[in-house]
């Protein structure tokens, strides 16, 4: 496909189709509704299936069923809808099913509003459902990355037989930008564990239930070993002007776009400020932040939440340097000038 001016929400669907996804099950909710709308149009054109479920709970369980058949399947929602999907997501993780969940975050708690927030960090990165599971979580900051990271999410989901999440705020989902679409995935690997409705299926069972404590503990240890491997191999981040920085700004999603401008403004005034942008929220780039803590004087985590990612930054820094925090909530998004003024107050103090 040629370069297109497109919303981030629509770029997700086209990226999913290019990745070989042919099954979408969902339920509309603002500001994620364009994902369901685009899937309803493009999935059938690609020979796939779109089905609007009767609820968010039904849609995640439909994805469970499709993923059990070995196909690439996905769902999408926004914060209150994601909350309803959490039990099903835990089931998928326990059953080691590869699938992709798109979360376009909006203001909360409760129904909140439809403006952008980042307050779903804990429920996706820490695991909002029950049990000892982890999700692979990627955080785009542009329409291009909405496409690219959705494609990567399918690859990681298959590689680790685990649900993967694209976690974006409402700003990035609704933003229109040029997107250059990559080549489609030409061949998908066979999944011998999947249910194929053949004679071998008599001996296949995909389930998250393990009634014997010893067996469940063994299964959990297997999952933890898989997550440990992902922590070693799947950390992704981006940095800007960090080499000689005295203070590092940390932010993801739309916040990172604002922080790029803030860094430029502060550098123009002679202040040595840099940016660290986590792209993988899980696994979190904690080792890299610990390395930065050896050379910088302080960190400033900026979020559209009450302070959720900042806890991971503080754990990574481990008291070696001060970790300051700045936030907006309720759908309010700070300006670069607002961030710059706060940084100056920190440096002055």
Is the pLDDT at 96 greater than 90? The verdict is yes
Mean pLDDT of 72-99: 98
User: Across the chain, how many H-helices and E-strands are there?
Assistant: 12, 14
Indicate whether this model's pTM tops 0.95: yes
Identify the band that residue 44 occupies on the pLDDT scale cut at 50, 70 and 90: very high
Q: Same fold for the domain at 4-233 and the one at 237-348?
A: yes
Please, which residues bridge with residue 5 across strands? Answer: 178
What's the confidence (pLDDT) of residue 349? 87
Among 306, 326, 316, 303, CA closest to 235: 316
What's the confidence (pLDDT) of residue 158? 98
7 CA to centre of own chain? 17
Mean pLDDT of 29-58: 98
What's the confidence (pLDDT) of residue 203? 75
Predicted confidence (pLDDT) per residue in 198-252, tens digit = 877 777 889 999 999 999 999 999 999 999 999 999 999 999 999 999 999 999 9
What's the confidence (pLDDT) of residue 115? 97
Helix (H) or strand (E) holding 169: strand 163-169
> Tokens 């925090």 identify what position?
325
Residues 6+ away with beta carbon under 8 Å from 47 = 22
Mean pLDDT of 70-88: 98
How much is the mean pLDDT over the chain? 97
Identify the band that residue 2 occupies on the pLDDT scale cut at 50, 70 and 90: confident
Identify the band that residue 130 occupies on the pLDDT scale cut at 50, 70 and 90: very high
Please give the backbone phi and psi of residue 164, each rounded to the nearest 5 degrees, phi first: -120, 150
Identify the band that residue 316 occupies on the pLDDT scale cut at 50, 70 and 90: very high
Tokens of 218: 């063994």
Tell me the fold of 237-348.
Answer: Rossmann fold (3.40.50)
Mean pLDDT of 315-320: 98
The Cβ-side half-sphere exposure at 286, using a 13 Å CA radius, reads 15
Mean pLDDT of 101-109: 97
What's the confidence (pLDDT) of residue 200? 75
What's the confidence (pLDDT) of residue 1? 64
Domain boundaries, the chain: 4-233, 237-348
- CATH homologous superfamily for the domain 4-233: Thiamin diphosphate (ThDP)-binding fold, Pyr/PP domains (3.40.50.970)
Among 120, 215, 208, CA closest to 162: 208
Is the pLDDT at 194 greater than 80? The verdict is yes
Residues 6+ away with beta carbon under 8 Å from 133 = 90, 93, 94, 127, 223
Mean pLDDT of 29-46: 98
The whole-angstrom separation of Cα 323 and Cα 243 is 18
Is the pLDDT at 63 greater than 90? The verdict is yes
The whole-angstrom separation of Cα 140 and Cα 94 is 26
Mean pLDDT of 321-331: 98
Predicted confidence (pLDDT) per residue in 251-298, tens digit = 999 999 999 999 999 999 999 999 999 999 999 999 999 999 999 999
What's the confidence (pLDDT) of residue 205? 85
Question: In whole angstroms, how far apart are CA 3 and each of 6, 55, 176, 229, 247?
Answer: 9, 35, 13, 36, 37
């Amino acid at each position: 496909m040629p370069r297109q001016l497109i919303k981030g929400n629509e770029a997700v669907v086209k990226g999913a189709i290019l990745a070989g996804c042919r099954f979408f099950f969902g339920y509309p909710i603002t500001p994620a509704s364009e994902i369901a709308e685009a899937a309803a149009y493009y999935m059938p054109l690609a020979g796939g299936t779109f089905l609007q479920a009767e609820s968010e709970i039904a849609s995640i369980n439909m994805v469970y069923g499709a993923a059990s058949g070995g196909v690439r399947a996905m769902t999408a929602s926004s914060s209150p809808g994601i909350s309803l999907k959490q039990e099903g997501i835990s089931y998928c993780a326990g059953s080691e099913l590869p699938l992709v969940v798109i979360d376009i975050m909006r203001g909360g708690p409760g129904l909140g509003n439809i403006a952008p927030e980042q307050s779903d960090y804990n429920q996706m990165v820490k695991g909002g459902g029950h049990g000892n599971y982890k999700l692979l979580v990627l955080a785009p900051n542009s329409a291009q990355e909405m496409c690219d990271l959705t494609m990567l999410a399918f690859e990681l989901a298959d590689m680790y037989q685990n649900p993967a999440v694209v976690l974006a705020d409402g700003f990035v989902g609704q933003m229109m930008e040029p997107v250059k679409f990559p080549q489609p995935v030409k061949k998908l690997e066979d999944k011998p564990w999947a249910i194929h409705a053949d004679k071998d299926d008599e001996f296949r069972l995909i389930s998250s239930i393990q009634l014997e404590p010893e067996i469940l503990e063994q299964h959990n240890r297997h999952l933890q070993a898989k997550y440990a491997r992902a922590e070693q191999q799947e950390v992704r981040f981006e940095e800007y002007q960090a080499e000689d920085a005295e203070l590092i700004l940390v932010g993801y999603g739309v916040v990172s776009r604002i922080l790029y401008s803030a860094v430029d403004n502060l550098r123009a005034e002679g202040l040595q400020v840099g940016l660290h942008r986590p792209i993988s929220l899980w696994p979190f780039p904690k080792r890299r932040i610990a390395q930065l803590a050896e050379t910088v004087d302080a960190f400033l985590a900026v979020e559209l939440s009450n302070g959720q990612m900042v806890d991971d930054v503080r754990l990574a820094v481990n008291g070696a340097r001060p970790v300051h925090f700045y936030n907006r909530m309720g759908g309010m998004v700070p300006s670069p000038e607002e961030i710059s003024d706060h940084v100056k107050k920190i440096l002055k103090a």
